[in-house]
Amino acid sequence: MASVTIEKRSAWAQHITHNMSDPNRPANTFIARYSMPPMESSREWTPWKGGFFIHYMGSRGSFSPSSEIDCRKRIAEKIFPNHWRDSGDIYYNFLVCPHGTVYEGRGYERGEANGGARITVGGTSLGRNTSFYSIQGMLAVEDQPNNAMLDSMRNLMFHLRYEASDTKKAGHLILPHSAGWNTKCPGEHLTQHAKRGSRIDPTEWAGGSRPVPEPVDRTPQLRIISRSSWGARPPRSVAKVSNAERTGFVVHYSAAGPDQTVRTNGCW
């Protein structure tokens, strides 16, 4: 069993109020699209090399939700639209509300919340979005993170570091968004926790009640997408060739535009 419960995108997407891609079309088509699991990014994604950047909402005043519905509406009506206009999706991988509920944003796929290109840590240059998950604490400037939020952040990071699939596992670093970037995020109250050895570091589990698993090999394995997964028909004929007859490789490229897929570029 995972160390944390993660509410799917559909929990907040159902509160999207209008179709931002086409205002003349009903909102339900837009809701259905963003209720689905996040699409895989075509950009490099190696979170085991880095770890986590911690964020906050940064809005003025205080965010005091009276219910989970308020939190879900905040994501759907404020956070998501601002990000969608720039990237076509929400930036953050996960969001943690004051009730301690964890919401899926980009989830285990690469997000784009961390700003800039690279950061150097301990002499190693790492991609800010390439090598780090982004976790937002749903706090305004004046808000203090409560125990429910901090505990859920720690549980989430434990899950991502030790329980996620090998190619999605997070590294050991915990940094504030402001590290190497000109921003006040995640604010004075959350920044003190955005570091190794803090309350949210899963290796500092209270009382040592949660054993830390042994490190695993996180090198990505070759992944081959089957023909049926991208919509190809079965081959009309198959010519079997022995290994002894295979003497080399021929490399092709599709010359297709960036908006084309394997299914539509006509190479099959």
201-247 pLDDT tens trace: 998 654 445 555 554 554 556 666 666 666 677 777 777 766 667 77
Q: Which two tokens stand for residue 213?
A: 């698993």
CATH superfamily name and code, 6-208: Peptidoglycan recognition protein-like (3.40.80.10)
Strands, DSSP E only, in the chain? 6-7, 51-56, 94-96, 102-104, 118-121, 124-127, 132-137, 173-176
Q: Which residue(s) pair with 137 in the sheet?
A: 56, 96
Closest CA to 6 of 197, 158, 221: 158
Residue 43's region, left for phi above 0, alpha for psi from -120 to 50, else beta, is: beta
Q: Answer yes or no: is pLDDT of 54 > 60.
A: yes
* 12 exposure class (CB count in 10 Å sphere: 0-12, 13-18, 19+): buried
Give 242-260 pLDDT, tens digit per residue: 666 777 778 877 666 655 6
Calculate the dihedral angle through the C-alpha atoms of 173, 174, 177, 182, rounding to the nearest 10 degrees: -60
**Which residue blocks in 75-158 are alpha helix, DSSP H?**
80-87, 147-158
* Structural domain spans, the chain: 6-208
**pTM for the full model?**
0.77
